[in-house]
Amino acid sequence: MSNSETILDLAAQVGKALQEKGLILATAESCTGGGIAQAITEIAGSTAWFDCGFVVYSNASKTELLDVSAALIAQMGSVSEEVAAAMASGALGSSNAHIAVSTTGIAGPTGAVPGKPVGTVCFGWANADTVHTERLVFSGDRKAVREQTVIHALQGLLRFIN
């Protein structure tokens, strides 16, 4: 199965799980540039369980649209589990969703900093009660990193929903 087929299959599974539980989703994406929202909206009927997607590529947009603290970004860096958590929580607060997923990372080929090589991605999954985060390092070119990130975000969302 190709990455794009895997992504669509996962998006369909996420939609089914959200619909079964009566939940609505929002996304907050930096390095994936809307890739998760795109996958979700490929699924017919997604209007029933998808509210909105925020593409917050700049630090300013993270602060302005999702209320991520500028001090947190300055202290931890925009690619951190703390910022991913704040992005997911911010997406909940700025939408009508019950559950949110966020991604922030370094897709490459440039942008690496000490301790955060190209391919570093931080994820957040949030609902009203809890936020889960994860940090992974993917390999490959920019496209590969972004595809792997969308796949992992959707897999994590399935786990978080269930």
Q: What pLDDT digit, counting tens, does each position of 41-83 carry? A: 999 999 999 999 999 999 999 999 999 999 999 999 999 999 9
Average pLDDT of the chain, as a whole number? 98
Element (H, E) at 136: strand 131-137
Say whether 121 sits in a helix, a strand or coil. strand
Is the pLDDT reported for residue 111 higher than 90?
A: yes
- Longest CA–CA separation in the chain, Å: 43
CATH number of the domain at 3-161, please? 3.90.950.20
- In angstroms, rounded to a whole number, what is the distance separating the alpha carbons of residues 142 and 54? 20
- In angstroms, rounded to a whole number, what is the distance separating the alpha carbons of residues 92 and 66? 9
Is the pLDDT reported for residue 92 higher than 90?
A: yes
Length of the chain measured in residues: 162
CA distances from 70 to 43, 86, 116 (A): 35, 11, 20
- In angstroms, rounded to a whole number, what is the distance separating the alpha carbons of residues 50 and 17? 12
